[in-house]
């Protein structure tokens, strides 16, 4: 029996990719913002409705660079219900994460709990769009404006998601996207940041390319976080098939919904009517169900079906932060409750619907 993984990377036809990279053998320009890099940037600006966008070698470095670009020193309000990258980026940039609890329906930061966390040390808010669910961007924006704080969105899960026709890249002062191989849209490894002005864009370009402005001019200290031409070429190929990719994922989600919606003890994701979704993940919260999350996980694994406890543990429970002040999952009880019960089921464009039925049969059996 072939293993069903929780996700499977989308790839173009081999011949399509080979044709896309053919000119690289003529130019020998393999990195450093070549034609593929520039073309992908232009295409993403159009898709995301973002005038100021730049590519990175991965989403994590994109997030670290945007935090550095804002020159932040102090406390950043964020969520523990996220991938390790979010919290690690804050810590690696010398700031202190302050954890806000989540909304139990959307799994995103609860705006009603942000205000109590703001102090004179607060320098930014870093919310996370989770599973493709958008944060309450209006409420967060109002709080940020009241306290004169920048909002930097971790939009790793929200590529191509729109609310009322507005892209996730348009919310906040900056938004980071991840193009990792497991994402709806991938460049093998990669990421991008959308910002609101040319000055911040230039700062990001300085940070990701050693601060170099020309062959004899390096006015800033920077590192190396540029996307190479082969990754950009993969992105150009995958971008052509994005609509089809999302539609196939939608059909998988529809099948899951048909089998699991309304079952007592199962909480499934709900997409608002005004949101254009990307179906990045299919989370299920097992709360009062006849099987616990861990029992379902084990039952699936027995049939070589790999689900994922995503996100478990919370980042404020990581052992690398154990004993540090502020890192206690008891301070975020809703997030802790969900983390102990959530399971993301296999979700990818080419997942056969009969396999979805097999997964649901195991869960419901």
pLDDT tier, 175 (very low <50, low <70, confident <90, very high otherwise): very high
Say whether both 32 and 155 belong to one domain. yes
Where is the domain boundary, 188, 205, 240?
240
Q: Tell whether the torsion through CA atoms of 313, 76, 97 and 58 is positive or negative.
A: positive
Q: What percent of the chain has pLDDT over 70?
A: 100
Distance between CA 221 and CA 219 in Å, rounded?
Answer: 7
pLDDT the model gives residue 343: 98
The predicted-structure confidence for 36-79, as pLDDT tens digits, reads as follows 999 999 999 999 999 999 999 999 999 999 999 999 999 999 99
Residue 310 has a pLDDT of 96
Evaluate if residue 296 carries a pLDDT over 90: yes
Sign of CA dihedral 219, 220, 223, 228: negative
Q: Has residue 336 been placed in a domain?
A: yes
Q: Which of 177, 210, 240 is the last residue of a domain?
A: 240
Instruction: Indicate whether 91 and 127 sit together in one domain.
Output: yes
Query: Does 294 share its domain with 349?
Result: yes
Based on the fold, state whether residues 66 and 208 are members of the same structural domain. Answer: yes
Domain assignment present for 178: yes
Query: Number of folded domains in the chain?
Result: 2
Q: HSE-up of 316 (CA within 13 Å, CB side)?
A: 23
Q: Which domain holds residue 306?
A: 242-364
> Does residue 113 sit in the same domain as residue 205?
yes
Phi-psi region of 148 (alpha: psi -120 to 50; beta: other; left: phi over 0): left
DSSP codes joined into one string, 140-199: HHHHHHHHT--BEEE-TT-TT-EETTEEGGGSSSEEEEE--TTSSS--SS-EEEEESSHH
Task: Centre a 10 Å sphere on the Cβ of residue 17 and count the other Cβ atoms it contains.
Answer: 17
Look at residue 165 and tell me whether its pLDDT is greater than 90: yes
Q: Does residue 298 lie within any of the structural domains?
A: yes
Tokens for 311? 């996100």
Mean per-residue pLDDT for 126-149? 98
Question: Is residue 229 located within the same domain as residue 282?
Answer: no
Whether 230 and 266 share a structural domain: no
Q: Are both 147 and 249 inside the same structural domain?
A: no
Q: How far apart are CA 162 and CA 166, in angstroms?
A: 5
CA angle 163, 166, 172 (to 5 degrees): 95
Same domain, 87 and 194: yes
Burial class (CB in 10 A: 0-12, 13-18, 19+), 62: buried
For the four alpha carbons of 36, 38, 39 and 42, in that order, the dihedral sign comes to positive
d(CA 337, CA 359): 24
If asked whether residues 205 and 254 sit together in one domain, one would say no
Q: Which residues are 153's β-sheet partners?
A: 175
Q: Does residue 234 share a domain with residue 294?
A: no
pLDDT at 1: 66
Residue 91 pLDDT > 90: yes
Q: Is residue 355 part of a domain?
A: yes
Does residue 221 register a pLDDT over 80?
A: yes
In a domain, 57, yes or no: yes
The last residue of one of the domains, among 190, 222, 240, is 240
Residue 179 falls within a domain, yes or no? yes
- Per residue in 227-252, pLDDT (tens digit) is 999 999 999 999 999 999 999 999 99
Residues 154 and 278 in one domain: no
């Amino acid at each position: 029996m072939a293993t069903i993984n929780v996700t499977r990377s989308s790839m173009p036809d081999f011949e399509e990719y080979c044709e896309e990279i053919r000119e690289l053998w003529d130019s020998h320009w393999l990195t450093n913002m070549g034609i593929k890099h520039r073309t992908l940037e232009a295409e993403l600006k159009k898709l995301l409705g973002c005038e100021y966008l730049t590519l990175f070698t991965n989403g994590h470095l994109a997030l670290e660079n945007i935090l550095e670009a804002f020159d932040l020193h102090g406390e950043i309000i964020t969520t523990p219900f996220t991938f390790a990258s979010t919290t690690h980026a804050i810590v690696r940039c010398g700031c202190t994460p302050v954890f806000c609890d989540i909304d139990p329906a959307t799994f995103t930061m609860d705006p009603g709990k942000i205000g109590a966390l703001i102090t004179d040390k607060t320098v930014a808010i870093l919310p996370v769009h989770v599973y493709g669910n958008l944060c309450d961007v209006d409420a967060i924006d109002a709080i940020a404006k009241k306290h004169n704080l920048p909002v930097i969105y971790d939009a790793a899960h929200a590529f191509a998601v729109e609310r009322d026709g507005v892209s996730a890249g348009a919310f906040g002062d900056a938004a980071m996207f991840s193009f990792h191989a497991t994402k709806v849209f991938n460049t093998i490894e990669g990421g991008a940041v959308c910002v609101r002005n040319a000055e911040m864009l230039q700062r990001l370009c300085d940070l990701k390319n050693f601060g170099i402005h020309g062959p004899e001019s390096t006015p800033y200290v920077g590192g190396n976080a540029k996307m190479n031409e082969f990754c950009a070429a993969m992105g150009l190929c995958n971008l052509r098939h994005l609509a089809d990719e999302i539609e196939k994922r939608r059909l998988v989600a529809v099948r899951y919904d048909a089998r699991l919606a309304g079952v007592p003890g199962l909480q499934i994701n709900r997409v608002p009517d005004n949101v254009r979704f990307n179906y990045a993940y299919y989370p299920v919260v097992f709360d009062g169900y006849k099987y616990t999350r861990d029992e379902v996980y084990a039952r699936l694994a027995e049939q070589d079906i790999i689900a994922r406890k995503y996100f478990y543990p919370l980042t404020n429970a990581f052992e690398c932060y154990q004993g540090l002040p502020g890192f206690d999952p008891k301070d975020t009880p809703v997030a802790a409750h969900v983390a102990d019960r959530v399971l993301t089921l296999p979700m990818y464009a080419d997942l056969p619907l009969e396999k979805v039925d097999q997964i649901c049969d195991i869960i419901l059996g």
